[in-house]
């Protein structure tokens, strides 16, 4: 029998962990399977508990841009271990990482470390509210900013209305002050500002959306947000938890030439350890305790082992040609997939930028949540299952990004394409 150990572990897990997993998407429900348990990862590969080997496109949901268990990072972390791994006091490491981040993303004049992307976005939101003295916020449908209450909100019925809770336990009055607009829709944002004069603290956006699958900003969208926020004395928050140091050494804001007031980071800056960060304009960030009245703290914030992992990861990413290499590899794979599907006449759309991409099972352009949702998720589930059988580990949901790491080789790409030929053959 296959996956014996994974099955056994899952049965045990369900007895002590809700749904057997510590983050819902890991449960593989959207693709109709039981989760595989991972025993180790090296380079571009993950190994399951039963000895299966897979080319990894999940990348721990983004952080593992160097590939798994990178030697340089491992060495740095081993050295750090012997010095102890948490002091609850200031260290040089956190200064060095903050400097690196601020240098690469100049809009982040002051940087505060936290332990997850959720915490970064939640804190940035509090800062925006504290700084502006306003309560309402605008987010975009399909963008994810972690699981803080204010963000677990979906659009109410009717295109532009108050938000409604997207999770039980989110208070309705809180959801009502989160306004939701379609991604890439500047008009909707203008309307919301018009309807809520001097009440909106901030607009928060993923400069490239990665949590409804990869969706790119249309020409002028991000610039337009910058302008609208500026005209309304609201802050613009870029949630670059995925895009930061993934698209480029620095933030996506450099690519799109937009200067947000605040930026959230996570994933790559921790290199796979629990790290988040938020930062921005000095004047805004100086409102945070101990300098100002906005409270935010963390027992493990700036954890030395996590900082070491982040620093070692960014060091390697500073090498010349790294992002070019990632992009070329990704473009090669996406081109290969395009060729395959066009031969078969299959209706798919591939959105790609840098080393992130999504293959959507829809024939129409995907530019927001509504158009992403037109994808045939049954087809995706079948595709996922076939690919997994063939040794390719894709994200277990249509609405996620695939990531390529520096450890992915041409051979990996070839093998992935071979698997895709068979998977698509079986499907169509």
Ligand X SMILES: *Cc1c(COP(=O)(O)O)cnc(C)c1O
Binding-site ranges for ligand X (CB under 6 A): 116-118, 121, 144-146, 206, 210-211, 239, 241-242, 266, 276
Other CB atoms within a 10 A radius of the CB of residue 409 amount to 14
Q: Active-site residues: which are they?
A: 144, 239, 267
Beta strands 45-48 and 163-165: pairing type? unpaired
The phi, psi pair for 33, rounded to 5°, reads: -125, 175
Q: Length of the chain in residues, anyone?
A: 428
Tell me whether residue 56 or residue 412 sits nearer to ligand X (CB atom).
Answer: 56
CB of 386 to ligand X, least distance (A): 27
Tell me whether residue 52 or residue 250 sits nearer to ligand X (CB atom).
Answer: 250
- H/E stretch holding 178 reads strand 178-181
- H/E stretch holding 201 reads strand 200-205
Nearest Cα to 268, choosing from 237, 314, 225, 204?
Answer: 314
Give me the residue whose beta carbon is nearest to ligand X: 117
CB of 243 to ligand X, least distance (A): 8
CB of 382 to ligand X, least distance (A): 26
Tokens 């989160």 map to which residue?
178
The phi, psi pair for 118, rounded to 5°, reads: -55, -50
Tell me whether residue 184 or residue 211 sits nearer to ligand X (CB atom).
Answer: 211
Contact between 307 and 269 (Cβ < 8 Å): no
Tell me whether residue 254 or residue 418 sits nearer to ligand X (CB atom).
Answer: 254
3-state secondary structure of 338: helix
CB of 255 to ligand X, least distance (A): 16
Residues contacting 361, CB < 8 A, separation 6+: 347, 348, 375, 376, 377, 379, 380, 383, 398
List beta partners, residue 294.
Answer: 288
Q: What are the distances in angstroms from CA 1 to CA 50, 273, 386?
A: 10, 34, 17
Task: Give the integer Cα–Cα distance in Å for 310 and 347.
Answer: 40
Residues contacting 197, CB < 8 A, separation 6+: none
CB of 104 to ligand X, least distance (A): 18
CB of 77 to ligand X, least distance (A): 19
Tell me whether residue 116 or residue 301 sits nearer to ligand X (CB atom).
Answer: 116
Rg from Cα positions in the chain: 21
The phi, psi pair for 392, rounded to 5°, reads: -125, 120
């Amino acid at each position: 029998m296959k996956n014996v150990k994974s099955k056994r572990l899952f049965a045990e897990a369900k007895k002590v962990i809700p749904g057997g997993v510590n983050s819902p998407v890991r449960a593989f429900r959207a693709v109709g399977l039981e989760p595989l348990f991972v025993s180790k990862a090296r380079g571009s590969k993950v190994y399951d508990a039963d000895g299966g080997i897979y080319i990894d496109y999940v990348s721990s949901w983004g952080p593992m841009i160097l590939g798994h268990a990178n030697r340089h990072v491992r060495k740095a972390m081993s050295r750090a271990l012997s010095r102890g791994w948490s002091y609850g006091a200031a260290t040089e490491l956190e200064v060095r990482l903050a400097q690196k981040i601020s240098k690469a993303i100049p809009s982040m004049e002051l940087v505060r470390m936290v332990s997850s992307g959720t915490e970064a976005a939640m804190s940035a939101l509090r800062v925006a509210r504290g700084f502006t003295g306003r309560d309402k916020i605008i987010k975009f449908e399909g963008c994810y900013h972690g699981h803080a209450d204010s963000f677990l909100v979906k659009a109410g019925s009717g295109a532009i209305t108050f938000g409604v809770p997207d999770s039980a336990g989110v208070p309705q009055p809180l959801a009502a002050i989160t306004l939701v607009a379609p991604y890439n829709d500047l008009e909707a944002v203008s309307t919301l500002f018009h309807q809520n004069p001097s009440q909106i603290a901030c607009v928060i956006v993923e400069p490239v959306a990665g949590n409804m699958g990869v969706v790119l900003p249309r020409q002028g969208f991000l610039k337009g947000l910058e302008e609208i926020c500026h005209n309304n004395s609201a802050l613009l928050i870029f949630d670059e938890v995925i895009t930061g140091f993934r698209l480029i050494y620095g933030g996506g804001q450099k690519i799109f030439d937009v200067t947000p007031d605040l930026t959230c980071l996570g994933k790559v800056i921790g290199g796979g350890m629990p790290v988040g960060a938020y930062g921005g304009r000095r004047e805004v960030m100086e409102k945070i305790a101990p300098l100002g009245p906005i409270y935010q703290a963390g027992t493990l914030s700036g954890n030395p082992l996590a900082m070491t992992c982040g620093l070692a990861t960014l060091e390697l990413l500073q090498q010349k040609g790294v992002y070019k290499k990632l992009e070329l590899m990704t473009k090669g794979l996406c081109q290969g997939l395009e060729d395959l599907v066009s031969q078969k006449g299959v209706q798919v759309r591939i959105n790609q930028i840098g080393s992130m991409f999504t293959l959507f099972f829809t024939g129409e352009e995907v530019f927001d949540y509504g158009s992403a949702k037109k994808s045939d998720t049954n087809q995706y589930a079948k595709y996922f299952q076939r690919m997994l059988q063939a040794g390719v580990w894709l994200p277990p949901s249509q609405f996620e990004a695939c990531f390529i790491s520096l450890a992915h080789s041409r051979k990996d790409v070839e093998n992935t394409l071979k698997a895709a030929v068979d998977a698509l053959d079986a499907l169509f």
